[in-house]
């Protein structure tokens, strides 16, 4: 069994043999495969103090120096991509092919994007007799989730470093191994001591200590809406900046002129990508009433092509749910859909046929779902898609917006002008028209209870900057 009982603080690994241990569970077998140290408020104090000291000099570093550091980080991540892919597949069950094709490359892309932004970003510019200066905000606490463990980490660390900030990272204790690999990358890249620090542990202890810490200037969290609320409440006392990327229940609106033959299959796979464990997954498919039976058949056909199994098998397209609490949550919500009268198109309760252990679930599609049903309103975070019929375009828009969330949305139409018009009516931070390629520079974040602030590219960088007006410049 693997034991990792060290934190990265002030430029070095610091052993914590006396710290309590947190079990790391293999989602394939549901057995404990390792342990990590659980940090304390005292560990947070040490890391924050190191970051505060380092900020005095790193905040004055030049853009060229920060580009050089990020370039070294980028090169090491590319060199160690397979190690990251294996770690992610092991710790949270991502199919190794998906880990190699998406989890790791997209995480690396955030570092590359910040290098590109830095090359042209104006940290000082004039408006008449006033100069506008953009300056690093200070010490940043970063709380990252288990579902995209590297991707969400670099989406925060890279812009913080690009801005000239120093950071204390708390990765999810449920998927810690990729974060430990990243800390070693930061060390080997020659990151100045104190600029990057990692303290593992629980949200209740380490996360709470970071959120309330008087020497932390900003906190960025990706997680559940409940966790985001708790962090914001704790941070309010010290009036620090809070950036939240939280839950979602994203619609995928098929207008009546869409390409249903190809689009439905793509929509099913988009909703179930990463075993459905993505906050922006388009898990509500909204379709014209007249096309409902056709869509049900197309969705069932798409699910039939998904291969659930051992994530280390190159042919597997869907591994297990990442952890036991989430496995129980998905089963609870599938049961709720059945009990509330949704039509079960495919999937259902329990593990797939032939799989007797682990957190594997059956890819599930419900149809004829109404807005009042739990499966229509609550974030499930598993491979569960709901199909909802609509009467006309106005009804489709109303259904799309009938949620407490507003993180992402998808829209399918052969008429681009029509699609643009409808996209403008959807209350979400990011709308995808006809399945465009992912863009590391497109701002990402939510309306309503999906959070505050934006990540990725230039918009992500600016969350880590203060604005100063120098009048009479």
The catalytic site residues sit at 245, 279
CA gap 156, 161 in Å, rounded: 9
- Residue 2: how many other CB atoms lie within 10 Å: 11
CA 396 to each of CA 258, 416, 450: distance values in angstroms, whole numbers, following the listed order: 14, 17, 21
Crossing angle for the helix pair 104-120 and 63-79, to the nearest 10 degrees: 160
* DSSP-derived 3-state class of residue 5: coil
- DSSP letter string, 156-221: HHHHHHHHT-EEEEE--TTS-HHHHHHHHHHHHTTPPTTTEEE----IIIIIHHHHH-TT--EEEE
Q: H-helix or E-strand containing 149?
A: none
CA gap 456, 460 in Å, rounded: 4
Task: For the chain, state the CA radius of gyration.
Answer: 22
The dihedral of CA 424, 426, 431, 435: what is its sign? Answer: negative
- Give CA 295 to chain center in angstroms: 29
CA gap 313, 221 in Å, rounded: 33
List of E strands, 108-215: 124-127, 130-136, 139-143, 166-170, 196-198
CA gap 262, 304 in Å, rounded: 15
Nearest to 254 by CA among 271, 277, 272, 276: 271
CA 275 to each of CA 20, 265, 445: distance values in angstroms, whole numbers, following the listed order: 31, 15, 21
CA gap 347, 365 in Å, rounded: 7
* DSSP-derived 3-state class of residue 427: coil
């Amino acid at each position: 069994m693997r034991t990792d009982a060290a934190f990265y603080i002030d430029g070095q690994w610091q052993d914590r043999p006396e710290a309590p241990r947190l079990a790391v569970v293999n989602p394939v077998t549901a057995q404990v495969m390792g342990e990590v140290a659980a940090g304390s408020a005292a560990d947070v104090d040490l890391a924050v103090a190191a970051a505060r000291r380092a900020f005095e000099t790193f905040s004055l570093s030049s853009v060229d120096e920060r580009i050089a550091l990020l370039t070294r980080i980028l090169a090491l991540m590319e060199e160690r991509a397979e190690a990251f892919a294996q770690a992610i597949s092991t710790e949270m069950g991502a199919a190794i092919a998906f880990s190699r094709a998406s989890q790791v490359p997209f995480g690396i892309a955030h570092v590359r994007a910040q290098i590109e932004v830095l090359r042209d970003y104006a940290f000082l510019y004039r408006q008449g007799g006033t100069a506008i200066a953009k300056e690093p905000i200070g010490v940043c606490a970063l709380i990252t989730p288990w579902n995209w463990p590297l991707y969400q980490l670099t989406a925060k660390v890279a812009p913080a470093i690009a801005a000239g900030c120093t950071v204390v990272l708390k990765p999810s204790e449920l998927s810690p191994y990729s974060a430990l690999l990243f800390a070693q990358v930061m060390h080997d890249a020659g990151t100045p001591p104190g600029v990057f620090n990692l303290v593992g542990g629980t949200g209740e202890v380490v996360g709470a200590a970071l959120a309330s810490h008087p020497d932390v200037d900003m906190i960025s969290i990706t997680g559940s809406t409940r966790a985001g609320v708790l962090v914001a409440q704790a941070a309010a006392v010290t009036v620090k900046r809070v950036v939240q990327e939280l839950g979602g229940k994203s619609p995928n609106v098929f207008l009546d002129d869409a390409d249903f033959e190809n689009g439905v299959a793509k929509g099913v796979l988009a909703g179930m990508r990463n075993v459905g464990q993505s906050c922006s997954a388009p898990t509500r498919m909204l379709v014209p009433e007249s096309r409902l039976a056709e869509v049900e058949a197309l969705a069932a056909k798409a699910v039939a092509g998904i291969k659930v199994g051992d994530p280390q098998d190159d042919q597997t397209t869907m591994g297990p749910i990442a952890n036991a609490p989430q496995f129980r949550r998905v089963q609870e919500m599938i049961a709720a859909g059945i009990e509330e009268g949704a039509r079960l198109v495919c999937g259902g309760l329990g593990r797939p046929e032939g799989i007797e252990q682990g957190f594997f679930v059956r890819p599930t599609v419900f149809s004829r779902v109404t807005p009042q049903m739990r499966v229509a309103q609550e974030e499930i975070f598993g491979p569960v898609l709901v199909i909802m019929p609509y009467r006309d375009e106005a009804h489709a828009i109303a259904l799309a917006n009938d949620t407490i969330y507003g993180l992402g949305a998808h829209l399918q139409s052969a008429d681009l002008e029509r699609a643009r018009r409808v996209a403008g009516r959807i209350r979400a931070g990011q709308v995808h028209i006809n399945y465009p390629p992912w863009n590391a520079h497109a701002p990402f974040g939510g309306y309503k209870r999906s959070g505050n602030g934006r990540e990725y590219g230039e918009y992500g960088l600016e969350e880590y900057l203060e604005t100063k007006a120098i009048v009479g410049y």
